[in-house]
A and B are shown apart, each in its own frame.
Chain A
Amino acid sequence: MPTALSSVAVPARRRFRLSAETRGIKLMLPVLLLLVLCFLVPVITLLLRSVMEPTPGWQNYAELLGSQTYVRVFFNTFMVAGVVTLITLLVGFPTAWLLAILPQRWSRLMFAVLLLSMWTNLLARTYAWMVLLQQTGLINRVLMALGVIDQPLALVNNLVGVTIGMTYIMLPFLVLPLHATLRAIDPSTLRAAAVCGASRWQSLRLVLLPLALPGIASGALMVFVMSLGYYVTPALLGGTSYMMLAELIAQLVQSLLNWGLAGAAAFVLLVVTLGLYAVQLRYLGAGRSEMGGR
């Protein structure tokens, strides 16, 4: 009797589990909908306004790149981002190095400080620097008391203040990923270098730095890109006469209601940011960390 069953063909339909593909897509639908509606559409609309307002054409871009005021803003933005990146790198590399080799008791403490600083409210930190750096602030008074300077230095409402504040914010973003890169390097490669007769400088230059290079490059790129789009810190520490790109966009919308020009500036910022991230993804692999500029 079972012989009749021996060649029953089962149609290839799925009965119990929805096909994995469609089930997955259903689960993602809410997020997809939210992001398309409240993220993609608004951003694209903003960018479109740059070529539609006040009249269709490229005049917003011409104005942005033709006016000395705006070119100055671009220059400020890239210069500050560059200087911040450089300082962060110079200070951050030794710090990450120390963090990677320190006995656990001490490295835990360093970690706690780094995380505390990173997660402390951005405004709280910026406020602290505004107070510390002002004419009568602690920094100026200590320097004068030590006899380093006679007159208080102008440390806020200019690019010096912005640079100090931004470096402060960016340091953890470089140190933490770079520390992970350095931790992943096998210490015995450096012992081997020493056995081969390399001096410390040679070991550093020929072994450690090349091995850490991917981490250094991606960390630096990330700091640079984040710095380009930062708004709060430059606005508060830089004052009105030293404007950066993010602040310009906000100003154009809030005070001047010039949506077309704001859209153009946003487009430039977007292209540079996403372009540099694409470079990072393509050549350096993804570095996961907080990236959005505040």
Chain B
Amino acid sequence: MTTPFLQIRGLRKTYDQVVAIDQVSLDIKQGEFMTFLGPSGSGKSTTLYIVAGFQEPTEGQVLLNGKSLLDVAPNKRNIGMVFQRYTLFPHLTVGENVAFPLRVRRRPESEVKAKVAKMLELVHLAEYRDRLPGQLSGGQQQRVAIARALAYDPPLLLMDEPLSALDKKLREEIQFELRRIHQETGVTILYVTHDQEEALRLSDRIAVFSQGRIEQVGTGEELYEHPSSRFVAGFIGNSNFLPVKVEQMGGGRARAIFPNGQAVEGDARAFAAGSEGTLMVRPEKMRIRPHAASARGLAVTVRDMTYLGDSMHFAVQTPWEQELAVRMAVGDGQGLCIGSSAVLEWDAQHGHVFA
């Protein structure tokens, strides 16, 4: 069995009485783009800071190539890091900033020069070498920070919400750059964000954090199509949550009933029969049919319709007066209008039952 590149083993961190993270374990492959996704305070940054060496775990271990990182001082870990704020040294030019890690490593001047040129080339900022950071835009500064973090060829690059201070357009631009840099350099990246769209766009795999624990790890598609908990389903993508009572379990599927007594099926983990649960269905997996067309499905009333160009958005009301969101292709909503009664349908495999 081969040793994973980076192993995070049973990390726990407490401040006084507060538990920041608990039982965080994760294996990361070489060259992987791994994102820690979660709301603020969910422990994703704490985990990253422990890997960086700015914080120490109360319990647990971090291994790089099978060797513990915890006994190594942060400045000896040889890890690259990009911070939330632009942490460029304001008194040094762009080129000197990128050269900084090489200078503290006492690399020969010729190598420093060549490497700086190469790194600035990588982030497309070669002509800014002699500017001071204050003269650059936020996006450019963050690209310099990436160049600096990669200048000494660290095997691992940590990024702590590096794009959160940028506006949407710049953010997308740099996300694109990041993918390219990741492909060109093959560096392993640990990336922290609270933005699910960013996580989906960038990552090979995503670890969803909630309340100090990892809820689920998987590719974006796995998390979206097969969320393992209500939290993951709610955090990634839009979802409708309907209250149900589970009647029967079997073969990874649950039979449940809605508050109006209607029966429904969905994917489920182990469940005790008779317990309360939630059925999750994505808005785009639902279809609304005029009342007459079908007898099956949930009877609803159309409350609102919005034309969004590439799709139609509907708000419908269930018999127990819950409002649900439905998204359909523009042509598929023929014959519906506000106030009309209709039937809501979805394929059984798109329903997920959670506790």
Do the two chains bind?
A: yes
Give Cα A6 to B61, complex, Å.
7
On chain B, the residues within 8 Å of A15 by CB distance are: 56, 71, 73
Question: By the criterion CB–CB under 8 Å, are A16 and B53 in contact?
Answer: yes
Complex contacts, A7 vs chain B, CB 8 Å: 9-10, 59
Instruction: Give Cα A14 to B61, complex, Å.
Output: 15
Size class of the B contact interface (CB-based, 8 Å): 10 to 19
Residues of A within 8 Å of B7, CB to CB, are 2, 5
B61 touches A5 (CB 8 A): yes
Q: Is the CB of A16 within 8 A of B73?
A: yes
Is A196's beta carbon under 8 Å from chain B? no
* Pairwise interchain contact B9-A10, C-beta atoms closer than 8 A: no
Q: What 0/1 readout, one digit per residue, does chain B (1-34) give for beta carbons within 8 Å of chain A?
A: 1010001011000000000000001000000000
In the assembly, what is the distance between CA of A59 and CA of B295, in Å? 106
Judged by a CB distance under 8 angstroms, whether B66 is at the interface is yes
Known: A2-B3, A15-B71, A16-B74. A8 touches B9 (CB 8 A): yes
B89-136 interface with A by 8 A CB criterion: none
Q: Which residues of B contact A14 (CB under 8 A)?
A: 56
Interface residues of chain A: helix, strand, loop or mixed (majority)? loop
Interface pair B58/A8, CB less than 8 Å apart: no
Say yes or no for A12: interface residue by CB 8 A criterion.
yes
B281 close to A (CB within 8 Å): no
Contacts known (A2-B7, A16-B74); A10 close to B57, Cβ less than 8 A? yes
Least CB distance from B62 to A in Å reads 9
- Assess whether A9 is interfacial by the CB under 8 Å rule: yes
A1-33 contacts to B (CB < 8 Å): 1-2, 5-10, 12, 14-16
In the bound complex, do residue A6 and residue B63 qualify as a contact, i.e. CB atoms below 8 Å apart? no
Q: Give CA–CA (A15, B73) in the complex, Å.
A: 8
In the complex, which of the residues B3, B25, B61, B66 has the most CB atoms of chain A within 10 Å of its own CB atom? B61
**What chain A residues lie within 8 Å of B74 (beta carbons)?**
16
Q: Which of A1, A2, A5, A12 is within 8 Å of B58, CB to CB?
A: A12
B145 at the interface (CB under 8 A from A): no
CB–CB A10/B60 < 8 A: yes
Contact flag A5-B71 (CB < 8 Å), given A10-B60, A12-B56: no
User: Contact partner of A6 among B9, B57, B66, B70, CB < 8 A?
Assistant: B9
Report the separation of the CA atoms of residues A9 and B3 in the bound assembly, to the nearest whole angstrom. 20
Known A2-B66, A16-B73, A16-B74: A8·B3 in contact at CB below 8 Å: no
Query: Considering the chains assembled together, what is the distance between the CA atoms of A14 and B53 in angstroms?
Result: 11
Q: Which residues of B contact A8 (CB under 8 A)?
A: 9-10, 60-61
B73 contact set on A, CB distance < 8 A = 15-16
- A70 smallest CB distance to B (angstroms): 56
A226 CA / B43 CA spacing, docked (Å):
52
- Could you say which of A10, A12, A16 contacts B61, with CB atoms under 8 Å apart? A10
Partner of B10, one of A1, A6, A12, A16: A6
* Contact, CB under 8 Å: A9 / B25: no
Asked if A5 contacts B63 (CB within 8 A), the reply is: yes
For A6, the closest partner residue in chain B by CB is B9
10 closest cross-chain pairs (CB), A and B: A16-B73, A6-B9, A8-B61, A9-B59, A7-B10, A5-B61, A12-B58, A10-B57, A6-B10, A10-B70
12 contacts between A and B (CB under 8 A): A2-B3, A5-B9, A5-B61, A7-B59, A8-B61, A9-B59, A10-B56, A14-B56, A15-B71, A15-B73, A16-B73, A16-B74
A-B contacts besides A1-B1, A12-B58, 18 pairs, CB < 8 Å: A1-B3, A2-B9, A2-B63, A2-B66, A5-B7, A5-B9, A6-B9, A6-B10, A6-B25, A6-B61, A7-B59, A8-B60, A9-B59, A10-B61, A12-B56, A15-B73, A16-B53, A16-B74
